[in-house]
Amino acid sequence: MCYKIDMTMRFAFLAVLGLAIFGCGNGAGNSEGYATQIPPQSNPTRDIWAADLTFDLNDHTATAIVQFDASTRRGATLEVGDLEIVAVTDAAGDVAFEVTDGVLDVGIQARKPHELTIDYRFGLHSELKGALDSGSTFLWPYFCGNLYPCKSDPADGLRLDLWLNGVADDKVAIFPEHIAADAPSYMLAWAIGDYAEIDLGTTAHGRQVSVWYLPGEETLATEGTTHLRAAFEWLEESYGSYMFGDKVGSVSADWGPGAFGGMEHHPLWHVSHDSMGDQETHVHEAAHGWFGNGVRLACWEDLVLSEGTVSYLTARAIEAVMGTKAGDGVWDDYGWRLDSVIASGDHVAWLQSCGQIDVYTELWSEVPYMKGAFFFRAVEQQVGREAIDRAIAAFYANYSGSAASMQDMLETIEEQTGFDPSELASGWLSSLGRPD
């Protein structure tokens, strides 16, 4: 351990004994033979580009090996939520660190990339804020720090490796061991339970699609994913290559009674028990592989770029693989949801600030989902399907693996179709009510 106060005591102790001192940290020895240590230093803009995470589920310990880029100044900063940081080390030994209000500052050099190993303890949560006592994890929007040292900024992308030790012999753990494309920090997940798998087949692009269900859910899971493989294939063919692996699918997650929806934990996204029979939810979470995850949000204020685009793509995919009647059914459902939220708590779908809001309490509602979907539908009605699909595919080709804003989407639509969507965006995304 290497808190600042411990260092003072250790140096004093060793000096009394007259021993050669090899301090913790990576600083070069000074002229008196002392190893110096870089003090912990805040540096929130220093990028973390990969994390290799190993969890022990028996004693709730974990190790994160994180890769930092070089920086113009010393130090690095990560969110650590309610984690208990035990030790921070690098190739040279202990690294000085400090934890203040869920934020970890470490003392590392500036100019070179740096690999750190962080040993810590994690807790289980009854609310959807980290590792859940019901067996899965839930990190959206900014709870990654309750599971691993991270940056919850949605624009930040990193490669992730995951391993779980201590899974009970009679349980199955569903998680991606390796995510080989930049992902937002909340994308990482596991689910542990009495899972059974149904192989739904392989797409023309080589993605094997499955659904994992819990006891008693076989009928729901089968009904809910009848067209999931075809929908996934349609998304690949329409908008571009999927980034997050060759084995994908829906995993039932126990979020407790009355919890609907899913979470875009690609490549093995979660769907709540109460939504396992709902085709729309399965396709919606799949489509986040392109928007929300494949293209990350520049700011939480751009949530509509994830949820609105995905809601539109869901309706399109369902129509494409299940027919016009099913597609019309989705739009009927969307219309009802839109009218309900306008009546019960209307707000605008798209905010112009960046990083200034609590997305969970200030923006997340049906509004960005539904107004976003209807915005894209209105653009489609102006330019035609072929043109809107060309614009969405061009946007994905340009921004996949990076972060983008809704403004970037408006500009791409105009570039690709010649139609300026700003008036429709103003009506659907920046106004109350519905402009139609």
Residues that bind Zn ion (CB under 5 A): 307
CA distance 376 to 260: 25
Shortest spacing between CB 271 and Zn ion, in angstroms: 11
Contact criterion met (CB below 8 Å) for 150 and 185: yes
CA 41, 42, 45 angle in degrees (round to 5)? 130
- Residue 393 burial class via C-beta count within 10 angstroms: exposed 0-12, middle 13-18, buried 19 and up: middle
CA distance 160 to 158: 6
Residue nearest to Zn ion (CB): 307
Token output for 201: 């087949």
Nearer to Zn ion, 307 or 366 (CB): 307
Nearer to Zn ion, 236 or 307 (CB): 307
Shortest spacing between CB 379 and Zn ion, in angstroms: 20
Shortest spacing between CB 292 and Zn ion, in angstroms: 7
Nearer to Zn ion, 39 or 277 (CB): 277
Shortest spacing between CB 276 and Zn ion, in angstroms: 16
Nearer to Zn ion, 174 or 313 (CB): 313
Shortest spacing between CB 221 and Zn ion, in angstroms: 19
CA distance 184 to 296: 7
Nearer to Zn ion, 68 or 396 (CB): 396
CA distance 320 to 332: 16
Nearer to Zn ion, 182 or 307 (CB): 307
Which of 62, 71, 117, 127 lies closest to 91 in space, CA to CA?
117
Secondary structure of 58-91 as H, E, C letters: CCCEEEEEEEECCCCCCCEEEECCCCEEEEEEEC
**Cis status of the peptide bond prior to 141, with omega within 30 of 0:** yes
Nearer to Zn ion, 281 or 416 (CB): 281
Shortest spacing between CB 310 and Zn ion, in angstroms: 5
Shortest spacing between CB 175 and Zn ion, in angstroms: 20
Shortest spacing between CB 284 and Zn ion, in angstroms: 6
Nearer to Zn ion, 121 or 337 (CB): 337
Secondary structure of 372-398 as H, E, C letters: HHHHHHHHHHHHCHHHHHHHHHHHHHH
- Residue 345 burial class via C-beta count within 10 angstroms: exposed 0-12, middle 13-18, buried 19 and up: exposed
CA distance 67 to 112: 11
